[in-house]
Amino acid sequence: MIQKTINLQDCAAIVKKRFWLILVISLVGLLAAILINLMVPPTYEAVTSLRVKVPRGLATSLLSDMPGASTADSRQNLANYAEMLKSRTVVQPAIDRVYANENVVPQYEQLVGRINVQPSKTADMLYVRVQARTPDEAQLIANALSDSLISLLTAEQGAVREFIGQRLQESKQELEKAESALEQYKRTQKMVAPDVQSKAMLDKMIGIDKLKAENRVNLMAAQAKLSSIDNQLAGEKPGFIADNPLIQQYKSKLADLEVELVSTLPKYSESHPKVISLRAAIEEVKAKLKNEAALVVNADAASGNAIHQNLLQGKITAEAEVAATTAQRSALDSIIAASDKELSALPAKEQGITRLMREAQVAQEIYIMLDKRYEEARINEVMRPSDVKVLDPAIVPQVPIKPNIVINAFIGALIGLFAGTTVALFLELTNWTIRNEQEAMELLSLPVIGIIPDFAKPVTKKELLWHKIRKLFFRRKH
């Protein structure tokens, strides 16, 4: 058998001989690529840019002096928010919003593959890229994702604001009722104000009642916050937080300080050193509790989901607030019971006007306090999402990113060129025709005496056409 070897010159000769074959196959690849591009539906991409503020808490401040610590915190924070944007907690509300009136709704697993969150390498920025079949769909999903994330971050504060708003309306009605009852009693009993002794007792009782009203608002606000967190945790993977003794110690100490504060306030003013000292101690314990909760969650939480960890940290803090305000309420009940006993020693008329003035004054104080709290809650709800801010909302893309007809056509032609060259080489290597005397001598091991010329007989046009087709694909040399 003849051992065939091909060098570069042979390859060039083969390409020249099979030029039309290679050209035809390349054109076939080009046409196939163009047809595929025309058949594949276009894909559009919308982009939303978010600015992410890196929180500077106690845990980060301890490492802020280390080289690269700030950059590492920023990268980790961006990575956390990137995972949040692709989590079911954020994506599912976006799906419900965009496809509310659609018959075909994509599943979370189908949509999350079309979301790409890319952190910036030079700034605290996230670029959210969403691919869809239509320009409007891509824009709506990209903007819905950012809105869903910000809504999640403000959910707790929103629950508190809604509760205070409802309580504010109730307080207004209670104030109007108490003032009406007081005016009616004054006209009936022909009294303008209580005597000096009753007035002093009234002032003391109003201060205590104001503390109780504030305690009630704080307790219900903490319970609303805790309920909101529990509802969100119901959609997350369960996590395990160890029964940390230090957290329990902080909770107990916070409750004791709150009880001591409400026992001290009826005796001293807000500017008294003891009251100031107690309030400072309460704030210090709250800060320590918050930092310890963050450390425990980050170390012991079974889920690596940043949303889940933030919710668990908020749950620990809210539970501590509920426990402290509950203990405070018990102490206030005891103080109010003692004040009511003192009030019962007054004459009947003095008791009546003192009680009604007390109710009206407390209702007024509660209304003023709730109105102030409601405004604070509204401001906090607006300011809270400052950690994540939408810089550039997604706009409707004008040009699809896929398929790229030019690039795909070039790739198709390139693949066709490669396939045509491969076919040409294959045909040449599988052509065992003896083409010259040298190959005959190698094959037969006999000397060549002479070469007989080929005197081809005249052929018809049909035979000539068939010969050209065979020559194109087989190139036999006789």
**Same domain assignment for residues 198 and 130:** no
The whole-number average pLDDT for the span 463-468 is 66
The per-residue pLDDT for range 282-295, each reduced to its tens digit, is 888 888 887 877 77
| Torsion sign over Cα 99, 104, 109, 115 | negative
Q: How many CB atoms neighbour CB 1 within 10 A?
A: 6
**pLDDT (mean) for 299-321:** 68
Q: Does 425 share its domain with 303?
A: no
pLDDT number for residue 64: 39
Asked if the structure places residue 396 within a domain, the reply is no
- Average pLDDT (197-223) is 73
* pLDDT at residue 156, as a whole number: 58
Query: Is residue 272 one of the residues assigned to a domain?
Result: yes
Average pLDDT over the chain reads 76
Averaged pLDDT, 295-303: 61
Interval 244-271 mean pLDDT: 80
Run of H or E residues at 128: strand 125-132
Q: Which residue has the tokens 């009940």?
A: 333
30 in Cβ contact with 413 (< 8 Å): yes
Q: Tens of pLDDT along 19-52?
A: 888 888 888 888 988 888 778 788 899 999 998 8
Q: Quick one: pLDDT at residue 477?
A: 46
Asked if residue 1 belongs to a domain, the reply is no
Do residues 167 and 217 touch, judged by C-beta distance below 8 A? yes
Inter-residue contact 47 to 115 (CB < 8 Å): no
Identify which has the larger pLDDT, 136 or 343: 136
- Looking at the structure, tell me whether residues 270 and 326 fall in a common domain: yes
Residue 64 per-residue DSSP state: T
In-domain check, residue 390:
no
Q: Count CB neighbours of 273 within 10 A.
A: 8
Q: Are residues 274 and 259 in the same domain?
A: yes
Give one DSSP letter per residue of 360-380, joined into a string: HHHHHHHHHHHHHHHHHHHHH
Query: Same structural domain for residues 33 and 143?
Result: no
Q: What integer is the mean pLDDT of 176-195?
A: 78
% of the chain with per-residue pLDDT over 70? 74
More confident residue, 448 or 240: 448
pLDDT recorded at residue 302: 46
Tens of pLDDT along 385-397? 457 888 889 999 9
Query: What's the pLDDT score for residue 139?
Result: 92
Please indicate whether residue 320 or residue 478 has the higher confidence score (pLDDT): 320
Long-range contact set of residues 6-11: C-beta below 8 Å, sequence gap at least 24:
6/425, 6/428, 6/429, 11/425
Q: Does residue 198 carry a pLDDT above 90?
A: no
Distances (CA, A) of 176 to 34, 214, 355, 372, 442: 78, 19, 16, 18, 120
- Taken in order 373, 388, 88, 293, is the CA torsion positive or negative? negative
Q: How do strand 125-132 and strand 388-392 relate by DSSP bridges?
A: unpaired
Q: What is the average per-residue pLDDT within 115-121?
A: 87
- Output 190-197 pairs: Cβ under 8 A, ≥24 positions apart: 191/349, 191/353, 193/353, 193/357, 194/350, 194/353, 194/354, 194/357, 195/350, 197/346
- CB-based contact 208:335 (threshold 8 Å): yes
Give bridge partners of residue 115 from the DSSP assignment. 130
Residue 182, domain member (yes or no): yes
Q: What percent of the chain lies above the pLDDT cut of 90?
A: 6
Task: Note whether residue 391 is domain-resident.
Answer: no
pLDDT 10s digits, 74-97? 677 788 788 888 888 888 889 998
Q: Which of 129, 153, 177 is the last residue of a domain?
A: 153
Q: Within this chain, do residues 431 and 302 fall inside the same structural domain, yes or no?
A: no
Q: Which residues pair with 50 in a beta bridge?
A: 126, 390
Residues 148, 162 within the same domain: no
Do 130 and 164 belong together in one domain?
no
For the ranges 250-264, 328-342, 353-367, 451-465, which has the lowest average pLDDT?
Answer: 451-465
Residue 301 clears pLDDT 60, i.e. is over it: no
Token pair in block for residue 255: 């409750």
Q: Provide the number of structural domains found in the chain.
A: 3
Q: Which domain holds residue 16?
A: 8-40+403-474
Task: Say yes or no: 379 and 278 in one domain.
Answer: yes
Task: Provide the 3-class DSSP secondary structure of residue 392.
Answer: strand
Place of tokens 């036999």: 476
pLDDT band at 54 (very low <50, low <70, confident <90, very high): low
CA distances from 210 to 175, 179, 207, 329 (A): 14, 17, 5, 12
What is the total residue count of the chain? 478
Domain shared by 49 and 72, yes or no: yes
Distance from C-alpha of 367 to C-alpha of 471, rounded to nearest angstrom: 101
**DSSP code, position 473:** H
Residue 423 CA: distances (Å) to CA of 27, 91, 298, 362, 429: 14, 50, 61, 96, 10
- pLDDT tens, position by position, 154-171: 765 666 677 778 888 888
For the cut 70, the answer to whether the pLDDT of residue 275 exceeds it is yes
Among 153, 180, 200, residue at a domain's last position: 153
pLDDT level of residue 56 (50, 70, 90 thresholds): very low
Residue 397 lies in a domain: no
Scanning the structure block, which residue is given the tokens 């945790």? 233
193 and 335: one domain? yes
Mean pLDDT of 59-79: 52
Are residues 414 and 356 both part of a single domain?
no
Q: Other CB atoms closer than 10 Å to residue 126's CB: what's the count?
A: 24
Q: Single out the residue in 354, 384, 414 at which a domain terminates.
A: 384
Closest by CA to 261, choosing from 332, 347, 192, is 332
